[in-house]
Structure 1
Amino acid sequence: MTSRTAPLAVLFDRDNTLVADVPYNGDPELVRPMPGALEAVAAVRAAGLPIGVVSNQSGIARGIVTREQVDAVNARVDELFGGFDTWQVCPHGPDDGCLCRKPAPGMVLQAAEALGVDPARTVVIGDIGADVGAAHAAGARAVLVPTSVTRQQEVWAADAVASDLRDAVRMALAGDAA
């Protein structure tokens, strides 16, 4: 992998990337940052880049959580991390055929527009292939941070893989995302 132009924005997946995944979480009290996540986000902020979150939340479509509950969880994430410049949430289910649900490009494109940056100068950091797929579909770059739910095929298919979130941010800021 060769070094590329440094990004103008960094987007993060929420569950299993920024915070520990609690399936269909509607309770802000259950929000726990992933190891190194607070420092990783702080490093992007210290670099002067806008930051955002792109998150599939199919529990809304499934009737498991309400949009208000998801918004309350996101507000807690904002509080813990010092705020994000944009939040893009897909409330649809996997079979709804929307253009926003990762790996579709919609949320990445909307985030880039909200931040006023070219998607090609944006990096998406996430833990599964859908995060990487959404980035590439939008013309953005991606760094995969594998967790216990990441399939081995997703790791093999990713062009940029980090050992942890801090490493992913280091790669993104150095222009080493793919």
Structure 2
Amino acid sequence: MPSPDRLVILDRDGVINRDSDAYVKSLEEWLPYPSALQAIARLTQAGWTVAVATNQSGIARGYYDEASLAEMHAELRRLVAEAGGEIAHIAHCPHGPDDDCDCRKPLPGLLVEIRDALGMTSLEGSWMVGDSQRDLQAGEPMGCRPVLVRTGKGERTLAKHPELAAPDRRTHLFDDLAAFVDWLLATQ
């Protein structure tokens, strides 16, 4: 069972791969950031556990199906393994914003799934890395330390919520996942 303070939970679109306002609908459209794949591998090699929590409302909207999502996640796992890393669990919400589920971020359901899948009793002290405010909000009730990256929708998030970059905020701000991992491995 991983220790919460050695767990990093990542949003997918905009953190691991390029995001699209038209949704990432197929393996061909899923374009990983090479530096993110290497960053995940470096975390794993340093003894960290990595999980993914991703909203995938494109399924509810009929833009793609569970099989297409599974293809993308299989390729993600393959590329991370090829780089020398591992993703312990991928939790996804297939619902739309009006489906009244308990898993769609900013609700913490995906993080509860990760906690349970990894056999943990708490996520207190783990890291939640995202490019949107709702990613960070999902981690708050679980005791996760918030990290906002500027990739994906990160710059847009900062423009809407400049308070996230305020010096008195708990939120850590980095250019991308690789920069966060550089800092984390140097300081932890």
Fold conserved (TM > 0.5)?
yes
Aligned to 1:64: 63
Aligned to 1:163: 175
The alignment-based identity, stated in percent, is 34
Paired residue secondary structure (2:5): coil
Superposed CA RMSD in Å reads: 2.1
Partners of 1:155 and 1:56 in 2: how far apart?
23
Counterpart of 1:115, as a letter, is: L
Aligned to 1:8: 6
TM-score, normalising length from structure 1?
Answer: 0.85
1:132 aligns with 2:136: yes
Larger mean Cα displacement after TM superposition, 35-44 or 71-80: 35-44
Aligned to 1:123: 127
Paired residue secondary structure (1:92): coil
Larger mean Cα displacement after TM superposition, 25-34 or 117-126: 25-34
For structure 1, the 5+ residue unaligned runs are: none
Q: Is the 8 A contact 1:6 1:172 kept in 2?
A: no
Deviations 1:42-100 (A, max 9, x none): 12101212111100000111111111111111111111112411010000101112111
User: Which of 107, 112, 132 is 1:104 aligned to?
Assistant: 107
Deviations 1:97-130 (A, max 9, x none): 2111111111112112222332113211111111
Q: Is the 8 A contact 1:26 1:73 kept in 2?
A: no
Partners of 2:184 and 2:133 in 1: how far apart?
17
For structure 2, the 5+ residue unaligned runs are: 166-170
Larger mean Cα displacement after TM superposition, 6-15 or 40-49: 6-15
> How far has the Cα of 1:28 moved from its partner?
1.4
1:110–1:145 Cα change, 3 Å: same
**How do residues 74-85 of structure 1 correspond to structure 2 at under 5 angstroms?**
74-82=73-81, 83-85=86-88
Moved runs in structure 1, 4+ residues, more than 3 A?
170-175
1:68–1:148 Cα change, 3 Å: closer
Partners of 1:84 and 1:71 in 2: how far apart?
14
TM-score, normalising length from structure 2?
Answer: 0.81
> How far has the Cα of 1:35 moved from its partner?
5.0
Q: Is the 8 A contact 1:144 1:168 kept in 2?
A: no
